[in-house]
Amino acid sequence: MEEQVKINDNVILVGKKPPMAYVLAAITQFSNGQKEVHIKARGRSINTAVDVAEIVRKRFLHDVQLRSIDIGTEEKDDPEKGKFNVSTITILLGK
């Protein structure tokens, strides 16, 4: 029997979609009763994650505050490129 891994409902993983897709996801989480939403991104998606957090706070949900920002680096291993570092960010928004 396979065990399914449950991803937290309040985590938004930012990728290549337009920022408003992630803004809608964050607003939906807050509307569903979440007190905190984590916006996570790596590499080139970090810019989009920052934009998402600012759009949520300044345009839509004025009672949401920036709780914390965590930055870091992950080491990746690619057969063609070898080992390389990828920057990461986690932005915590809360009511």
CATH of the domain at 46: 3.30.110.20
In 1-95 the beta strands, taken as DSSP E runs, fall at 11-13, 36-42, 65-78, 82-94
Which residue has better confidence, 1 or 16?
A: 16
Any domain includes 57: yes
Average pLDDT over residues 71-84: 91
44 falls within a domain: yes
The candidate with the shortest Cα–Cα distance to 71, out of 81, 60, 85, is 85
Find the domain containing 38 and state its range. 11-94
Question: Residue 3 pLDDT > 50, yes or no?
Answer: no
Q: Is residue 58 part of a domain?
A: yes
pLDDT at 93: 97
What value does the mean pLDDT of the chain take?
91
Residue 17 is assigned to a structural domain of this protein: yes
Count of structural domains, the chain: 1
Q: Tell me if 5 is assigned to some domain.
A: no
Percent residues over pLDDT 90 in the chain: 80
Q: Positive or negative CA dihedral for 21, 70, 45, 80?
A: negative
Both tokens of residue 88? Answer: 């990461």
Residue 30 pLDDT greater than 50, yes or no? yes
Is 2 part of a structural domain of the chain? Answer: no
What is d(CA 69, CA 37) in angstroms, rounded to the nearest whole number?
Answer: 12
What is the rounded end-to-end Cα distance, in angstroms, of the chain? Answer: 39
